[in-house]
């Protein structure tokens, strides 16, 4: 998977995606992240990349030309027929979810455009056939943090990126439940004990306790997820005792 990130702040994106699990996965060649400085592509004599909005109003709008030339350069050597999506991180986009991240993880290349200022000239979004994705209903100052969130959420689903792949099957949001509470040593800290069942060594009991905790937390905090989970996991009907008449024949 290759991520091409078009931004006015490549250093910010590069530093965030150069560390931890994603940084290691990049060094291992499991994914590529290329950051492009949109300003390097401006044909404006003052190197400007934005201008006043047509029709008047506040703020500045990112111009089409530098973004489009930056985009063309990013995909210049891309193989013909690759599975590619162009994404504009935008507060008016479709919300990023685990399901969307999983869908994006099947692509060969994601081109991510980060806006700044009040927005981007609509014509370049149309020309690139960009889809819009938001990371939630709150207002940020630009698309760089959202782009990092998207790269992080998608990258950890790629083969080999996580040490233990079983963890993305059981894990909270993917399973539809919130995660149970976690503990480590020591067994008592500030008069607070680790729940006894976790020290019992009885794996069946531990699993049952964790599921019970996940269900209770999800019901209390995310009734929407709880209802969906219950609809998908109907409780098993109790086993009927076999009656003599039915078994006879």
Interface mask toward ligand 9D3 for 52-91; x: CB under 6 A = -------------------------------------xxx
- Give the separation between CA 147 and CA 6, rounded to whole angstroms: 10
- Give the separation between CA 220 and CA 186, rounded to whole angstroms: 29
Helix (H) or strand (E) run with residue 84 in it: strand 84-95
Nearer of residues 90 and 155 to ligand 9D3, judged by Cβ: 90
How many residues form the binding site for ligand 9D3 (CB under 6 A)?
16
**Which segment (13-21, 142-150, 159-167, 239-247) binds ligand 9D3 by CB under 6 A?**
142-150
Nearest distance in Å: CB 141, ligand 9D3: 6
- Residue 49 binds ligand 9D3 (CB under 6 A): no
**Which segment (115-123, 160-168, 192-200, 215-223) binds ligand 9D3 by CB under 6 A?**
115-123
- Residue 124 binds ligand 9D3 (CB under 6 A): no
CB 89 within 8 A of CB 146: yes
Nearer of residues 138 and 184 to ligand 9D3, judged by Cβ: 138
**Which residue matches tokens 């020309």?**
127
- Residue 140 binds ligand 9D3 (CB under 6 A): yes
Q: What is the CA radius of gyration of the chain?
A: 25
Q: Which residues are bridge partners to 110 per DSSP? A: 3, 85
Q: At what angle do helices 20-27 and 144-155 cross, to 10 degrees?
A: 70
């Amino acid at each position: 998977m290759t991520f091409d990130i078009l931004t006015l702040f490549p250093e910010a994106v590069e530093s965030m995606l150069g560390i931890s699990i994603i940084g290691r996965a990049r060094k291992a060649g499991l994914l590529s992240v290329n950051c492009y400085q949109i300003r390097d592509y401006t044909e404006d004599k003052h190197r400007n990349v934005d201008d006043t909005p047509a029709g008047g109003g506040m703020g500045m709008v990112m111009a089409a030309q530098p973004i489009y030339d930056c985009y063309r350069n990013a995909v210049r050597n891309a193989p013909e027929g690759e599975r590619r999506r162009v994404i504009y991180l935008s507060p008016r986009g479709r919300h990023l979810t685990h399901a969307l991240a999983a869908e994006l993880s099947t692509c060969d290349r994601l081109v991510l455009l980060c806006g700044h200022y009040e927005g981007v000239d609509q014509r370049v979004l149309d020309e690139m056939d960009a889809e819009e994705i938001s990371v939630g209903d709150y207002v940020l100052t630009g698309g760089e943090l959202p782009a990092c969130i998207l790269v992080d959420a998608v990258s950890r689903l790629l083969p080999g990126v996580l040490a233990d792949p079983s963890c993305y099957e059981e894990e909270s949001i993917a399973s539809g439940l919130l995660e149970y509470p976690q503990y480590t040593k020591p067994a008592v800290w500030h008069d607070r004990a680790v729940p006894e069942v976790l020290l019992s060594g009885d794996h069946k009991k531990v699993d049952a306790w964790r599921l019970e905790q996940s269900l209770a937390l999800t019901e209390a905090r995310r009734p929407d997820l709880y209802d969906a989970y219950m609809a998908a996991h109907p409780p098993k009907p109790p086993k009927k005792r076999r009656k003599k008449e039915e078994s006879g024949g």
